[in-house]
Amino acid sequence: MEILLVILIGLLYAAGVYMILRRSLVKLIIGLILLGNGANLLIFLLGKVVKGSPPIIDSAGKMLEGLYADPLPQALILTAIVISFGLQSFAIILVKRAYKVVKTDDLDEMNATDEDL
């Protein structure tokens, strides 16, 4: 299971970097989404995938005993999902506005000065 996740993370990172290096702004956003998902899976994998009980101490106990799930990676992934959603929505609105003004999503054409037009 873990080796499958490692391969999936590698593919997501490779595809994300490839899409970021393209000239289209839409492909840039897709690359950011893929990199964000790869990072979330990496954090999930670093938290050690285990089948355990939730980390709740009952009133009779003083400390956790036995196998339990670590809540910290889950909280980090949840925070990363919220932040990446905000970043993606801002980037989509920014690309939409840039496309309205310049009438293209090609980065080379956007980089041209007004004198070249």
Per-residue pLDDT tens for 56-83? 777 777 777 767 777 788 888 999 999 9
- Please tell me whether the overall predicted TM-score, pTM, comes out greater than 0.75 for this model: yes
Residue 62 lies in a domain: no
Q: Which domain holds residue 28?
A: 2-50+68-111
The total number of structural domains in the chain stands at 1
Determine whether 69 is exposed, middle or buried from the number of CB atoms within 10 Å of its CB (0-12, 13-18, 19+). Answer: middle
Integer Cα distance of 44 and 9 in angstroms: 11
Q: Is residue 58 part of a domain?
A: no
Confidence of residue 106 (pLDDT cuts 50, 70, 90): confident
